[in-house]
């Protein structure tokens, strides 16, 4: 009986190894897609070599003990370009830090698939479009910094369902509609919504009132 048991154990270990390698390859593919979309005049991402299977060897990337990507520290690196939907495949990602760059384009709705994300920081870029309602699926999110961009449209009411959310800053955009007061927004200072000329005061009694031109 020992031989069959050993064989079953060996098969299980091989399956687990293949699953781990598949995950690493998937994350490597996602980061390679992001690298291709970014312009890097300072060559700070030169270690992001797509021929390396394990992205944990790359600068500005942090992994856990299982070699799964948990943090991207790409703030203030003079990067430009745009975000890509493939980022949503980094299922263990907790921190996406891209502040003080010149990132353009829109926020991919696929970021809502990052169920472990704690911080999304796009402060002071050139991001346009609307805030995706899909971000309301980020039930672990604590910090959401989108200030200093060119975002338009309303603040999605789905964000009010994120009970873990402590910091929201969307100032310095072109948002419209009304400022929510329900859920975590009850404790967010109004200064974090300023410099949005078309954004109105807090909604009354949690009742959404939208600008008809929003």
Measured distance CA(3)–CA(127) in Å, rounded = 59
In this structure, the number of other CB atoms found within 10 A of the CB of residue 181 comes to: 17
User: Which residues of the chain form beta strands (DSSP E)?
Assistant: 38-39, 61-63, 69-73, 80-82, 95-97, 102-104, 119-121, 128-130, 143-145, 150-153, 167-169, 174-179, 198-202
pTM of the model: 0.85
Closest residue by Cα to residue 56 from 70, 44, 42: 70
Q: What is the pLDDT of residue 20?
A: 41
Token pair, residue 117, equals 């994300």
Count, in order, helices (H) and strands (E) of the chain: 1, 13
Q: What is the pLDDT of residue 22?
A: 41
In the predicted structure, residue 200 carries a pLDDT above the cut 60? yes
Q: What is the pLDDT of residue 26?
A: 84
Q: What is the pLDDT of residues 32-66, one digit of tens each?
A: 999 999 999 999 999 998 777 689 999 999 999 99
Measured distance CA(129)–CA(124) in Å, rounded = 15
Q: With b meaning 16 or more CB within 10 Å and e meaning fewer, what string describes 29-53?
A: ebbbebbebbebeeeebeebeeeee
Residue 161, classified by CB atoms within 10 Å of its CB into exposed (0-12), middle (13-18) or buried (19+), is middle
Q: Which helix (H) or strand (E) holds 4?
A: helix 2-37
Those residues whose C-beta lies under 8 Å from the C-beta of residue 39, and which sit 6 or more positions away, are 79, 80, 81
Measured distance CA(168)–CA(180) in Å, rounded = 11
Residues 107, 138: contact at Cβ < 8 Å? no
Radius of gyration for the alpha carbons in the chain, expressed in angstroms and rounded: 20
| Inter-CA distances, 196 with 85, 164, 200, Å | 27, 25, 9
14: confidence class by pLDDT, cuts 50, 70, 90: very low
Q: What is the pLDDT of residues 16-27, one digit of tens each?
A: 333 444 444 689
């Amino acid at each position: 009986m020992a031989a069959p048991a050993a064989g079953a154990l060996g098969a299980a270990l091989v399956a687990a190894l293949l699953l781990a390698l598949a995950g690493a390859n998937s994350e490597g593919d996602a980061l390679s897609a992001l690298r291709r979309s970014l312009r890097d005049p300072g060559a700070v991402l030169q270690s992001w070599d797509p021929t390396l299977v394990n992205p944990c060897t790359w600068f500005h990337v942090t992994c856990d003990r299982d070699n799964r990507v948990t943090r991207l520290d790409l703030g203030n690196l003079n990067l430009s370009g745009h975000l890509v939907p493939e980022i949503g495949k980094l299922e263990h990602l907790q921190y996406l830090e891209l502040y003080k760059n010149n990132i353009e384009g829109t926020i991919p709705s696929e970021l809502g698939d990052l169920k472990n994300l704690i911080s999304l920081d796009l402060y002071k870029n050139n991001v346009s479009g609307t805030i995706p309602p899909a971000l309301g699926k980020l039930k672990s999110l604590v910090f959401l910094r989108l200030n200093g961009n060119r975002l338009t449209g309303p603040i999605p009411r789905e964000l009010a369902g994120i009970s873990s959310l402590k910091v929201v800053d969307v100032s310095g955009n072109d948002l419209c509609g009304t400022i929510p007061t329900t859920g975590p927004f009850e404790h967010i200072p109004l200064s974090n919504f300023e410099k949005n000329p078309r954004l109105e005061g807090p909604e009354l009694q949690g009742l959404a009132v939208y600008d008809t031109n929003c």
